[in-house]
Amino acid sequence: MDTTTGAGPVLAGLMQDDFPLTLAHPLERMRSCFGAREIVTLEDEEGRTARSSYAAVCERVDRLANALRALGVQRGDRVATFAWNSQRHFELYFAVPCAGAVLHTANIRLSAEQILYTLDHAGDRVVFVDASLVETLAQIAPRARTVETWVVMGETADAAALPNAVGYEELLAAQPPACDYPRLDERAAAALCYTSGTTGPPKGVLYSHRSITLHAAGTLMADSMAISSEDRILSVVPMFHVNAWGVPFAAALSGAQLVMPSRFLSPQPLARLIERERCTVMHAVPTLFADLLRHAREAHPDLSSLRNCISGGAAVPKTLMQALEAEHGAHVWQAWGMTETSPVCAVSRPPERLRDTDPERYWELRACAGRIVPLVEARVAGEDGAPLPAGDARAGELQVRGPWVARAYFDPEPDAEERFADDWLRTGDIACLDAGGWLRITDRAKDVIKSGGEWISSVELECELVAHPLVAEAAVVAIPDERWSERPLACIVPAGDEAPDAEELATHLRARVPRWWVPERFVAVDALPHTSTGKLDKKRLRAQLADGTLATRDRVGGAR
Amino acid sequence: MDTTTGAGPVLAGLMQDDFPLTLAHPLERMRSCFGAREIVTLEDEEGRTARSSYAAVCERVDRLANALRALGVQRGDRVATFAWNSQRHFELYFAVPCAGAVLHTANIRLSAEQILYTLDHAGDRVVFVDASLVETLAQIAPRARTVETWVVMGETADAAALPNAVGYEELLAAQPPACDYPRLDERAAAALCYTSGTTGPPKGVLYSHRSITLHAAGTLMADSMAISSEDRILSVVPMFHVNAWGVPFAAALSGAQLVMPSRFLSPQPLARLIERERCTVMHAVPTLFADLLRHAREAHPDLSSLRNCISGGAAVPKTLMQALEAEHGAHVWQAWGMTETSPVCAVSRPPERLRDTDPERYWELRACAGRIVPLVEARVAGEDGAPLPAGDARAGELQVRGPWVARAYFDPEPDAEERFADDWLRTGDIACLDAGGWLRITDRAKDVIKSGGEWISSVELECELVAHPLVAEAAVVAIPDERWSERPLACIVPAGDEAPDAEELATHLRARVPRWWVPERFVAVDALPHTSTGKLDKKRLRAQLADGTLATRDRVGGAR
């Protein structure tokens, strides 16, 4: 590669390129410009809230960074959170990376074994856990080899269930309210998030200080999420997902205020928060917007403050977008991204003038995955794998690159799928990219199932099914679902003459995977289609299911 | 300094930090997403325009980059422009840096000697000059030691006045419409701009690919200039000033369209462009907005498309902002910056809700220099030089740092003023910074004079005055001026009994400095105040002028 480091000795190094893009910047900005801003956390079902200023948050971040040092956390060590969205989780988002450690936001929705896998794989030394989630961790804590300290956030009678547990508030109270932070390189690792998006065990995606800072700055752009200092954001996307789309960092950069729903994610408490806190922005998966709209039609909360709803994880039906606009004046903007892309790579904000001049085109653009945002580059690979020329709107695998796109997994398993080639991330999504940079996802990554915005690993379900004595082979594919977008359908080849019954298979799975992964439908077949190299051919299987040519032995029937 | 390069070998290098922030990105974005967008250049006083698509521009940029290579331009070489705002200047903004060279946007408003100084100091090998400006360069061209080729843009009978001159269109026509660009490091130098802001000869500020890309991305933020793909920008600020505030690059990143007024900068042609091209954004100095408003009151052009007017270079009177809003629905947003800061460091966009709830505070914020934008950090040095704590709103010297703030001048003269200390740029402006990050400039840099948004070097005027046989000593200070904000006032100590007359001094200066630098007022005094170290004490001089205690011999009177 023909790379130069500068334009010769005279010209090099005269700009403040050494001003590092680290999270020290948003933290200091929050402190020096937005001390009076507020973060609100919902505390119970009665709607009680805890309120704090950003100035107070900064002081607590300082204490927390000191506490990490006192716990022996070193530069580059991993520190996990196991928590809902709250002020404390927000504090950890800054204290851990600014102290030089790596924030691993463990996914509370994985199975116990998967959680244990990620804690082990990350090598977490300290885990910060919400009191309400202690019970989940208690069963695996004794087997978490690398964890030395469990820090419990909030009051619980269960704290003793964790070995060597300490209280969050006690930890902070013991430290001074000011911290001498290390000066970090912008390429230092800041955060780690596991994706169970494709095949095999969860894979870790590592974010640098630079990638997070640039991504957060990107969310402030007028054609992206356009977060501004005037906003009050209802932060619904769980903070264990892809840094919750950069919103906590964007809030610190812009001075936008934050409203944290904690574990109360049903429409009623969310609507009450919007009404009482006058939220202007929220971000969530489409299912949640649909639920909120249904609830609002019955309970009539005042959602008039809501202007921008950022939706990601799956496509939003046009009718839902139009209803939210008509009934509440709230615009749903679709965004596209994935854990590997920090995540925001595209946002669907078409020119507003099209609304009147060409409403069909306007809504076509509103319904697509969005336009690729500044600083991200995208291309589509044709059938031969070579990139299509710009403006060629044929479908193919979407590839992206940019300063917030991963180029490798963190310490991947030897047999992990290869997603990275020629500096481009192969997204696994089939898409069209038109001459205006507008992205339309035409097909899902080949094997994954996305249910309610969450990935379900078909391979893992297959492994567990095959582990059942009466199952010889299994293939799990997505079927459309009105409420969840997709649900898994399991096809099994019975090991003997008799197919196991659906309830038995479901019970078997419930003990091994997250409850919501368990398929509602099971189908027994004589044989599954295979590729020439002997791998399951799910493409053919889906086609056979669709046109009814799959030779089913009998329907095992619904399990729930 | 305690700096780490990563979090250990396992964690380093897993993000696309090697995706470089270079101008290849906006160029490719313009090509792949915004090919159908338009750039319009005004061609004559009758209002004729040249129109081109971004797709055609990209092809011409490719040809131009090839042409530079054909002219022997190497990585890091400097290539100058001497031009008004036009499509061709826009093409040079991309072709020169993307080819690996450094774009020196020479300031056409400097004196011939200053222009020669900057061409020499930069070491420009090629100069691209507008046909209408050939005459200005012809007088110095024979003495420009480093320039090998002069490229004339447009038709002129004078081209032969430049040695070794070639035509821009001929140059492009000879090259293929595609270019294999070098892959550059983001820290490579991309552009060079000279500031005559303070003392001594003009000083060069070098911008890297990274600093320009990040600054342009910053201008897209909702709380900054908020440039979006829907905008049509009347690009008034001359492109020889600080990369014209990043707007050309912001247009490429966002897909905003551009309208270039060329040399037609009076209110009538600008108003006609706004009306015909339905411009939504313009950026200019306050004087120009005042002129435009006056013109509109007489000629009644339709300025209703104009939404955002970005103003910089001097403070905008509140009444002017209010009149533009009331009469045309156009908002003037003040911005603060300098050549050394790329320039945008602050933009005055207060929360719109304050308009109704606290109009006094709203207009106070609208009238200040703005809030420090994301990714820039600011502090104020107290009287002892130590930074004031955040939230301490006392006045002191403003200091800034950030990824688009210079930290040194390009090859400075040995006696150049020291502006850079501890990674911070000492701006020379006296300012207050409140707990909300709002910046109020309370006093001007100690010695400079800013007239119509342009710097006038008092020291240079003093040098030239003292060169007159009848002048013993001279001090030039700013006096308030309704139209130009400030004008210079020259105080002289006559060499003999008789003071020289004002007209003689003005004639003397006109031959040596730009015409508009020449003071309207001259005052003869017996002695000037000095500091303990023998330097002119202009602070005391200004105070004496203000309270009438300066012992004047007689008023030399107005020169024009």
Same domain, B59 and B183: yes
- In angstroms, the Cα distances linking B46 to A27, A450, B268, B299 are 54, 61, 11, 16
Nearest to A217 among B100, B189, B375 (CB): B375
> From the candidates A22, A33, A195, A365, which should be mutated to test the interface with B, based on the most B CB atoms within 10 A?
A33
Q: How many domains does chain B have?
A: 3
Give the tens place of pLDDT for each residue, B18-35: 789 999 999 999 999 999
> From the candidates B96, B206, B221, which should be mutated to test the interface with A, based on the most A CB atoms within 10 A?
B221
Contacts of B408 in chain A (CB under 8 A): 13-14
Instruction: State residue B8's pLDDT score.
Output: 43
Instruction: State residue A2's pLDDT score.
Output: 32
Same domain, A530 and A497: yes
Nearest to A377 among B25, B35, B101 (CB): B25
Instruction: State residue A286's pLDDT score.
Output: 83
* Domain final position from B439, B464, B485: B439
With a CB-CB cutoff of 8 Å, which residues 69-108 of chain A face chain B?
75-77, 100-102
Closest residue on chain A to B342 (Cα): A15
- What mean pLDDT comes out for the span B537-545? 85
- Give me the torsion for CA of A327, A330, A334, A338, rounded to 10°: -120
- Asked if B407 and A435 come within 8 Å (Cβ–Cβ), the reply is no
Same domain, A79 and A119: yes
Cβ atoms of B189 and B98 closer than 8 Å: no
Q: Which residues of chain A have pLDDT under 50?
A: 1-10, 13, 198, 533, 557-560
Cα of B176 vs its chain's centroid, Å: 34
List the catalytic residues of B: 195, 340, 450, 455
Beta bridge partner(s), residue B346: B336, B372
Same domain, B412 and B520: no
Contacts of A390 in chain B (CB under 8 A): 31-32, 35
**Site of tokens 């140059």:** B171
Residue among A188, A205, A68, A63 nearest A126 (CA): A68
The size of the A-B interface in CB pairs under 8 A is: 279
Same domain, B47 and B76: yes
Contacts of B15 in chain A (CB under 8 A): 187, 206-208, 210-211, 403-407
Closest residue on chain B to A76 (Cα): B7
Query: Is residue B510 included in any domain, yes or no?
Result: yes
Residue B344 has pLDDT above 60, yes or no: yes
State both tokens at A302: 């005042």
Nearest to A377 among B28, B222, B410 (CB): B28
Query: Is residue B15 included in any domain, yes or no?
Result: no
Cβ atoms of A219 and A245 closer than 8 Å: yes
What's at B187, amino acid-wise? R
- Asked if B33 and A410 come within 8 Å (Cβ–Cβ), the reply is no
Least confident of B71-85, B309-323, B441-455: B441-455
- Asked if B230 and A353 come within 8 Å (Cβ–Cβ), the reply is yes
Active-site annotation holder among A333, A438, A455, A484:
A455
Q: What is the CATH number of the domain that holds B461?
A: 3.30.300.30
Q: What is the CATH number of the domain that holds B87?
A: 3.40.50.12780
Query: Is residue B7 included in any domain, yes or no?
Result: no
What's at A219, amino acid-wise? T
Quote the minimal CA–CA distance from A216 to chain B in Å: 10
Instruction: State residue A420's pLDDT score.
Output: 80
- Asked if B187 and A253 come within 8 Å (Cβ–Cβ), the reply is no
Q: What are all long-range contacts of A425-430, with beta carbons under 8 Å and residues at least 24 apart?
A: A425/A340, A425/A341, A425/A399, A425/A400, A425/A401, A426/A381, A426/A397, A426/A399, A427/A338, A427/A340, A427/A341, A427/A397, A427/A398, A427/A399, A427/A400, A428/A197, A428/A198, A428/A397, A429/A397, A429/A398, A430/A395, A430/A396, A430/A397, A430/A398
Cβ atoms of A367 and A315 closer than 8 Å: yes
Closest residue on chain A to B122 (Cα): A11
Query: Is residue B14 included in any domain, yes or no?
Result: no
pLDDT class of B47 with cuts at 50, 70, 90: very high
Quote the minimal CA–CA distance from A540 to chain B in Å: 35
Question: Is A249 an 8 Å CB contact of chain B?
Answer: no
Distance CA B66, CA B182 (A): 11
Quote the minimal CA–CA distance from B173 to chain A in Å: 24
Same domain, B399 and B489: no
Contacts of A30 in chain B (CB under 8 A): none
Same domain, B463 and B423: no
* Domain final position from B378, B410, B439: B439
pTM of the entire structure? 0.84
Quote the minimal CA–CA distance from A17 to chain B in Å: 6
Question: Is B480 an 8 Å CB contact of chain A?
Answer: no
- In angstroms, the Cα distances linking A31 to B253, B369, B389 are 31, 21, 11
Least confident of B133-137, B190-194, B223-227, B460-464: B460-464
Distance CA A247, CA A240 (A): 12
- Asked if B409 and A25 come within 8 Å (Cβ–Cβ), the reply is no
Quote the minimal CA–CA distance from B123 to chain A in Å: 12
Q: What is the CATH number of the domain that holds B416?
A: 2.30.38.10
For B519, phi then psi, to 5°, come to: -65, 150
Cβ atoms of A538 and A447 closer than 8 Å: yes
Quote the minimal CA–CA distance from A132 to chain B in Å: 31
State both tokens at A163: 């070995």
Contacts of A96 in chain B (CB under 8 A): none
Other C-beta atoms lying within 10 Å of the C-beta of residue B5: 11
Residue among A158, A154, A157, A147 nearest A171 (CA): A154
Same domain, B335 and B196: yes
Same domain, B139 and B69: yes
Query: Is residue A30 included in any domain, yes or no?
Result: no
Contacts of A76 in chain B (CB under 8 A): 4, 6-8, 11
**Site of tokens 């019975």:** A494
Instruction: State residue A207's pLDDT score.
Output: 94
Nearest to A437 among B33, B182, B226 (CB): B33
With a CB-CB cutoff of 8 Å, which residues 388-447 of chain A face chain B?
390-391, 401-411, 423, 435-437
Distance CA A157, CA A338 (A): 37
* Domain final position from A299, A330, A356: A356
- Asked if A404 and B15 come within 8 Å (Cβ–Cβ), the reply is yes
- Asked if B1 and A410 come within 8 Å (Cβ–Cβ), the reply is no
Same domain, B197 and B103: yes
State both tokens at A260: 């944290």
Query: Is residue B1 included in any domain, yes or no?
Result: no
Contacts of B437 in chain A (CB under 8 A): 29, 32-34, 255
Cβ atoms of A26 and A213 closer than 8 Å: yes
Question: Is A350 an 8 Å CB contact of chain B?
Answer: no
Strands (E), A373-470: 377-381, 396-401, 420-421, 424-433, 438-443, 449-451, 454-456
Residue B132 has pLDDT above 90, yes or no: yes
pLDDT class of B444 with cuts at 50, 70, 90: low
Question: Is A480 an 8 Å CB contact of chain B?
Answer: no
**Site of tokens 């001359």:** B238
Same domain, B203 and B325: yes
Range of the domain at A530: 449-558
- Asked if B405 and A4 come within 8 Å (Cβ–Cβ), the reply is no
With a CB-CB cutoff of 8 Å, which residues 211-240 of chain A face chain B?
211, 213, 217-218, 220-223, 226-230
Spatial strand order of the sheet with A521-525 comes to: A471-481, A485-494, A521-525, A552-558
Query: Is residue A27 included in any domain, yes or no?
Result: no
Instruction: State residue B560's pLDDT score.
Output: 36
Contacts of B76 in chain A (CB under 8 A): 6-8, 11
Same domain, B337 and B408: no
Query: Is residue B13 included in any domain, yes or no?
Result: no
